[in-house]
Amino acid sequence: MLGKTLCQRAPLQVRPLQYVARHSRLTLPMAIHAARADQKIKTPYTPSSRYFSGSGARYADLIVQVPPMAESISEGTLATIHKKVGDRIEADEEIASIETDKIDVAVNAAEEGVVAELLVHEGDVVTVGQPIARIETGSSNGTATARVPEEKSTNEAAEDAPALVQQEPGESKIVETKDHAIESSARSESPAPPARSSPANPPQPIDGHAVNSRRESSLRGEHVEKMSRMRKTIATRLKQSQNTCASLTTVQEIDMTALMQWRTKYKEDVAKQYGIRLGYMGAFTKATALAAKQVPEINASIDADREVIIYRDYVDISIAVSSPKGLVTPVVKDCDLLSIVELEKEIAIVAQKAREAKLTMNDLTGGNFSISNPGIFNSLFGTPVINYPQAAVFNMNTIKDRVIAVDGKPEIRPMMYVTVTYDHRLIDGREAVSFLNIVKNYIEDPARMLLE
């Protein structure tokens, strides 16, 4: 048959019918007719195993997979795909980001090339090792090659060129020519006679109350957003803490005069020498770390499964940071051994990583107790939730001028309320109050911290 003869002329590739007609001295309608007679053009290889470009060059393929995330994390939600098919991508450039219960994981391309195919969609749950994209590493012109489609029938091929229709023998079909189509279109677009005008309805009085009600109702609305994996994890952990811990809060107030004067005196020198901004977090982190060494229950936790209390001789503190996706608590390690300036630097680093969603599992692992600073949002007072399985969280708030008694005389001083919320199963009121008093003494006389 003629269709089989055409197949033998190109045994390695599926050729478009236009190509077959051009290289076999047949008209395109004759090629379509021959293909219909044979139903389809067959190829002797598997399409999924071979790729082509327009010039016939073959490029190497790189399959981008979900990278290992952490020992405790095996899957995540594909939050964002940063590239689309045809985009150029550089080596080590981020192609997608995956949201897990704790962190965001960047998926980077190992080599440069062009994105040829995306194998997943935003919102899909993906697992470690799962392919998510195909990159052509040999392409240099910024265009990706397409995968050869699987055995496309000639009926579909004929539909791709609907203007070239061959009338079968014996059929009496009427084929509309281009001139005929234009003439028909012109006739259909001729103006219709104007419709008779009907008498207008008499104007009705406007109800102002009804108009205002409709206007107000049109501004009312709501929208629904799916909870992110991180938000669901935060909700679960907070509820677990509330259901498990016997939470109690103790309050103290601190005169910030001495620390504010100390900061004013040294902040320019610190900025010039270390390139960081000297704030209050470094001093409070140092003070709480030293206080935790003196009140070891603050630095301990309960292992309910083994029914034991774990006391630690090192102080790793979780710093609560508000990120675009929710509250995270990166850990600053060995806070008792670091200086105030070193603590300021470490806190600035983890806070920046949190805001940019670049925290790693190592940044979030550990933590003996937490520090929260809602004072940056002008909070006057707060009772935070314990970051379970920790046993305590220290809370610092905004600074307000208040009148207090100093040596029997009223004076206006910058004051701060501080609190510690603790697990009463492990920490008694005496230990909680002692901890706050030690912190108060360090902050009201910062030089004392140099003696430790």
Helices 281-294 and 257-274: angle between axes, nearest 10 degrees: 110
Mean pLDDT of 387-407: 96
Mean pLDDT of 417-434: 97
Q: Is the pLDDT of residue 30 over 90?
A: no
User: Can you give the pLDDT at residue 72?
Assistant: 67
* Domain containing residue 234: 229-451
Query: Would you state the torsion angle of the CA atoms of residues 335, 337, 338, 340, taken in this order, to the nearest 10 degrees?
Result: 80
Between 264 and 55, where is the model more confident? Answer: 264
User: Can you give the pLDDT at residue 450?
Assistant: 85
**Shared-domain flag, residues 336 and 301:** yes
User: Can you give the pLDDT at residue 227?
Assistant: 84
**Alpha carbon distances (Å) from 100 to 70, 123, 228, 235, 327:** 10, 12, 9, 14, 14
**Shared-domain flag, residues 276 and 305:** yes
Mean pLDDT of 363-371: 93
Share of the chain above pLDDT 90, in %: 48
Mean pLDDT of 287-294: 97
Mean pLDDT of 371-385: 93
Q: Is the pLDDT of residue 45 over 60?
A: no
Pair type for strands 317-319 and 369-372: parallel
Give the contacts of 193 (CB within 8 A, at least 6 positions apart).
Answer: none
Contact by Cβ (8 Å): 291, 441: no
**Shared-domain flag, residues 258 and 327:** yes
User: Can you give the pLDDT at residue 209?
Assistant: 62
User: Can you give the pLDDT at residue 287?
Assistant: 98
Dist CA 393 CA 435 (whole Å): 12
Average pLDDT across the chain, whole number: 78
Lowest-pLDDT choice from 34-48, 178-192, 294-308: 34-48
User: Can you give the pLDDT at residue 290?
Assistant: 97
Most confident of 77-91, 165-179, 192-206: 77-91
**Shared-domain flag, residues 23 and 87:** no
**Shared-domain flag, residues 134 and 259:** no
**Three-state DSSP state, 355:** helix
Supply φ then ψ for residue 344, to 5 degrees. Answer: -60, -40
Dist CA 329 CA 350 (whole Å): 9
Lowest-pLDDT choice from 4-8, 216-220, 221-225, 339-343: 4-8
User: Can you give the pLDDT at residue 6?
Assistant: 42
Cis peptide before 194 (omega within 30 of 0): no
**Shared-domain flag, residues 324 and 393:** yes
The DSSP call for residue 102 is: S
Instruction: Give the CATH number for residue 88.
Output: 2.40.50.100
User: Can you give the pLDDT at residue 214?
Assistant: 63
Q: Is the pLDDT of residue 168 over 70?
A: no
Instruction: Give the CATH number for residue 440.
Output: 3.30.559.10
Pair type for strands 113-118 and 301-303: unpaired
Break the chain down into helix, strand, coil percent, rounded to 5: 35, 25, 45
User: Can you give the pLDDT at residue 254?
Assistant: 98
Structural domain includes residue 269? yes
Distance of CA 219 to the CA centre of its chain: 31
pLDDT tens column, 182-229 = 444 444 445 555 555 555 555 566 566 665 666 666 688 898 988 888
Q: Is the pLDDT of residue 395 over 80?
A: yes
pLDDT tens column, 318-335 = 999 988 778 889 999 999
Domain boundary among 91, 111, 144: 144
Share of the chain above pLDDT 70, in %: 68
Residue 419's beta-bridge partner residues? Answer: 251, 395
Q: Is the pLDDT of residue 308 over 80?
A: yes
Mean pLDDT of 243-262: 96
**Shared-domain flag, residues 440 and 320:** yes
Between 436 and 361, where is the model more confident? Answer: 436
Domain boundary among 144, 173, 203: 144
Contact by Cβ (8 Å): 329, 371: no
Dist CA 136 CA 74 (whole Å): 27
User: Can you give the pLDDT at residue 356?
Assistant: 87
Mean pLDDT of 413-425: 98
Dist CA 386 CA 394 (whole Å): 9
Lowest-pLDDT choice from 71-85, 88-102, 172-186, 393-407: 172-186
**Shared-domain flag, residues 36 and 80:** no
User: Can you give the pLDDT at residue 144?
Assistant: 52
User: Can you give the pLDDT at residue 157?
Assistant: 44
- Count of Cβ atoms closer than 10 Å to residue 1 Cβ: 9
**Shared-domain flag, residues 280 and 403:** yes
181-209 b/e with 16+ CB inside 10 Å = b? eeeeeeeeeeeeeeeeeeeeeeeeeeeee
Dist CA 118 CA 133 (whole Å): 4
The counts of H helices and E strands in the chain are 12, 20
Dist CA 10 CA 87 (whole Å): 32
**Shared-domain flag, residues 341 and 368:** yes
Structural domain includes residue 292? yes
So which residues are the catalytic ones?
424, 428
Q: Is the pLDDT of residue 409 over 70?
A: yes
**Alpha carbon distances (Å) from 171 to 22, 156, 157, 158, 166:** 27, 21, 22, 18, 11
Tokens 């009804």 locate to: 210
pLDDT tens column, 440-450 = 999 999 999 98
Structural domain includes residue 243? yes
User: Can you give the pLDDT at residue 213?
Assistant: 63
Structural domain includes residue 165? no
User: Can you give the pLDDT at residue 9?
Assistant: 42
User: Can you give the pLDDT at residue 271?
Assistant: 94
Give the contacts of 179 (CB within 8 A, at least 6 positions apart).
Answer: none
**Three-state DSSP state, 413:** strand
User: Can you give the pLDDT at residue 198?
Assistant: 52
Tokens 């977090």 locate to: 281
Question: What is the count of structural domains for the chain?
Answer: 3
**Shared-domain flag, residues 256 and 359:** yes
Q: Is the pLDDT of residue 172 over 90?
A: no
